């Protein structure tokens, strides 16, 4: 079986040795966007690729401080830092102890050490039906928006509860479909999520936000099951399906489309995941 995108990325990181990799370098080598790389890495590991690269370099430097007779300056330069001062600031921020102290025997808390990630020889994943393809016009989605990281995105269900309560008070129509729009992901793995409904009004209620779903072609995947397993389907889309497809994600907002009758606890529920795409051969 062909290795997953994440397995290839992790192998590239660990095989790079002393070479200082950038997220953009890894994305280019795999023929994907930085957005795509950040999305799949964060979903699967809980860390952004930028943070993982930084922490792996600092962890390797920590081992050198105790395992060699190299000076802090030499170790700093080897880790990709331009000066001992810059290295000390980054090291201290990451491990709550200075390089000098570690060199003299101080311990780093084990939970702060970033070891390499090893995936099982056989990766299991949720079966995924091939997508259908849709051309759509631009759509305005009005709702509540919040900024998340992997560590904090467990609050999204509460965001939906708050949106429904406030939307009813504002008179927004909730009888039809609703949208969960993901946008603005950065290299550090943070992103914005908007829970909302389509609205043609240009008056946005106080405290609400508006995101425009762009006109264009979309790959539409279907998640079967409760909201609790939605993350598994999203991971397969980004880690398995898209890297092997003949199209690429554009980086524009993607969204979950919830039918009016959707029940997040129903194991037979159905949600569509719309990914904006462009053909690789004909961008």
DSSP the chain: -PPPHHHHHHHHHHHTTT----HHHHHHHTT--HHHHHHHHHHHHSS-HHHHHHHHHHHHHHHHHHHS---HHHHHHHTT-SSHHHHHHHHHHHHSS-HHHHHTTPPPPGGG--PPP---SS------PPPEEEEE--EEEEEEEEEE-TTTGGGHHHHHHHHHHHHHHHT---SS-EEEEEE---TTS-EEEEEEEE---S-PPTT-EEEEEPSEEEEEEEEES-GGGHHHHHHHIIIIIHHHSSEEE-SS-EEEEE-TT--TT-TT-EEEEEEEEEESS--
Spatial separation of the C-alpha atoms in residues 34 and 22, rounded to whole Å: 10
Query: Could you tell me the CA-to-CA distances from 160 to 79, 207, 216 in Å, in that order?
Result: 43, 14, 27
Domain positions in the chain are: 5-112, 132-279
Contact of 44 with 239, CB cutoff 8 Å: yes
Region 5-11: mean pLDDT is 90
Contact of 277 with 247, CB cutoff 8 Å: yes
Assess whether pLDDT exceeds 80 at residue 275: yes
Question: Residue 17: CB partners within 8 Å, gap ≥ 6?
Answer: none
State whether the Cα torsion 132-138-143-145 is positive or negative: positive
Region 172-176: mean pLDDT is 77
Model pTM score: 0.81
Assess whether pLDDT exceeds 70 at residue 281: no
> How high does pLDDT run on average in the chain?
89
Assess whether pLDDT exceeds 60 at residue 93: yes
Higher-confidence residue of 39 and 254: namely: 254
Q: Which CATH superfamily is domain 132-279 in?
A: Regulatory factor, effector binding domain (3.20.80.10)
Region 11-33: mean pLDDT is 85
Question: What is the percentage of the chain residues whose pLDDT exceeds 90?
Answer: 54
Question: What is the percentage of the chain residues whose pLDDT exceeds 70?
Answer: 95
Question: Residue 93: CB partners within 8 Å, gap ≥ 6?
Answer: none
Can you name the CATH fold of 5-112? Arc Repressor Mutant, subunit A (1.10.10)
How many residues are listed for the chain in this entry? 283
């Amino acid at each position: 079986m062909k290795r997953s995108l994440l397995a290839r990325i992790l192998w590239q990181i660990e095989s790079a040795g002393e070479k200082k990799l950038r997220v953009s370098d890894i994305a280019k080598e795999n023929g994907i966007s930085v957005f795509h790389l950040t999305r799949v890495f964060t979903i699967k590991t809980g860390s952004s690729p930028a943070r993982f690269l930084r922490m792996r370099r600092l962890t390797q430097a920590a081992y050198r401080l105790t395992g060699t007779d190299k000076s802090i300056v030499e170790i700093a330069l080897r880790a990709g830092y331009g000066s001992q001062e810059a290295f000390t600031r980054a090291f201290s921020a990451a491990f709550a102890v200075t390089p000098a102290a570690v060199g003299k025997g101080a311990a780093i808390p084990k939970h702060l050490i970033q070891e390499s990630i090893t995936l099982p020889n056989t990766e299991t994943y949720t079966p995924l039906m091939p997508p259908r393809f849709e051309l759509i016009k631009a759509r305005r989605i009005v709702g509540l928006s919040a900024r998340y990281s992997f560590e904090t995105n467990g609050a999204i269900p509460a965001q939906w509860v708050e949106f429904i309560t406030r939307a009813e008070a504002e008179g927004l129509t909730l009888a039809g479909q609703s949208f969960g729009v993901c946008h603005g992901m950065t290299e550090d793995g943070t992103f914005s999520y908007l829970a909302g409904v389509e609205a043609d009004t240009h008056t946005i209620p106080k405290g609400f936000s508006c995101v425009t779903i762009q006109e264009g072609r979309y790959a539409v995947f279907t998640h079967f099951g409760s909201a609790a397993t939605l993350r598994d389907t999203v991971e397969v889309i980004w880690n398995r399906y898209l890297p092997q497809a003949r199209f690429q994600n554009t980086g524009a907002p993607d969204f979950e489309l919830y039918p009016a009758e959707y029940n997040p606890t129903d194991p037979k529920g159905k949600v569509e995941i719309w990914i904006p795409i462009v053909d690789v051969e004909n961008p």
